[in-house]
Amino acid sequence: MKDFLFNGFSFFARFAGNSLVFFWLARLLNEGEFGRLSFLFLLANFALVLMDFGLYFLVVEAVLRARYFRIAALLRVKYITSAAGLVLMGGLGFALFSLRGQLSGDYLPYMLLLFSTAMLALTQHYLYHFRVQGRYHIETIGQTFYNFGILLGIAFLALLDAASLWTVIGVFVLLRLLMLLMSKGYFSRLHLEAHRPQLHWHRISVYLKRSSLYGVTALVGYALLLLDSTLMYVLFPEQLAMYQGGVRIVLMVMMLTEVLTVFYLPRLRGEHGDTHKRYYLVLCAMLALAVWLLLWGFPDQVIRLLYGQALEGLVQYLPYFSVVAILRIGLGYLGTLLTFHGHHRVRLHALTLALTALLLTAGLLMPGHGVAGLLVSVIVGHLIACSYQAWWLKRIGGYRFLSGGQAS
């Protein structure tokens, strides 16, 4: 019960710092600044996925096997992936913002945010160790300090009427720096830093090869979320804020799906695994039904509740976003079962197919239908990914795939 409460409080803090704060910022900033700010965070979060590159799974394995000396080694690998992420995403940002002629307006704040993302990547690595050890209170303290600190910082900006793209990013950078120092302090109190292994390039390549399947899958999955926003930024910048409002709602639903996944995945192999599989399915179905009823049935009320008088143009597109959110729930559920069955590679194939379909369909539909055509393309891509994963699960588990089947 104590661990459940710590997990729940940690999630609430993350929810406040990652979802509620953006709903609030939409009221504080003008539409242009909110759209740009939200897109910059999406792009920086892609860098965060690149910097992790699946190393979390190796940390879990090292702790579960009590091979603590690997934690320090993996931290050095994390330095390398973080540096690579900075260089690659810095170059990608330069190309993208040059295309839009926004080097001074968007690239400079993006680079500041990108450096703070590297701090966040290292912070996550420090906290991973405590999470997989079951010492949730340390992560809860860190998440609470970081996320509620952001809320307080934004409140201070609102009080001074000083909220802008630069000042908001400044709040995030300051809190990420403090979070890094605090998590590093906790980490240093353990015996792990006493181990300073010599890490040769051969050994680094072994670690990266082992984490690559998970890392590439995460990158392709996030690219499926980022591609449509990038197309909006380049082709329809005047409607970017409206679109980002819908994306933020989808991200909120994805956070709720992640909570169910984190809670049930370790329980699928337990003594009551079949029961947990059914609970997992029922809760995902209930979440999808609730999302559909709210977003499809009451779009005006939802927009007023989340964004006030801002982003009123989102109302007409909210039904599309409701379908995307529901498909994201299905994608998370089916992907979890594939990982449980030992077919994580199928997730990569499904996401790659979806990304390709999204790009091709958008090329066909966007010239004539604009934003609606882009959203239909996103739906088509997610439908293909869900269908492909469901087909594979039926192949490996027969009629039992809806309740999980047996792990391979």
The string of pLDDT tens digits covering residues 257-293 is: 877 776 666 666 656 667 777 888 888 899 999 999 9
Among 215, 39, 184, residue whose Cα is nearest residue 113: 39
Instruction: Please say whether the beta carbons of 366 and 374 come within 8 A.
Output: yes
Please tell me the chain's helix, strand, coil percentages from 3-state DSSP, rounded to the nearest 5: 90, 0, 10
pTM for this entry = 0.83
The reported pLDDT for the residue numbered 189 is 66
Tokens of 101: 């002629």
The reported pLDDT for the residue numbered 196 is 53
What average pLDDT does the segment 148-177 reach?
91
Instruction: Report the length, in residues, of the chain.
Output: 408
Tokens of 141: 């303290």
Q: At what angle do helices 273-297 and 299-307 cross, to 10 degrees?
A: 90
Residue type, 2: K
The reported pLDDT for the residue numbered 202 is 65
What average pLDDT does the segment 1-11 reach?
54
Q: Tens digits of per-residue pLDDT, 317-373? A: 999 999 999 999 999 888 888 877 778 788 889 999 999 999 999 999 998 888 999
From the centroid of its chain, how far is CA 14? 11
Residue type, 5: L
What average pLDDT does the segment 126-136 reach?
66
Per-residue three-class SS string for 8-32: HHHHHHHHHHHHHHHHHHHHHCCHH
Instruction: Please say whether the beta carbons of 371 and 379 come within 8 A.
Output: no
In angstroms, rounded to a whole number, what is the distance separating the alpha carbons of residues 271 and 159? 53
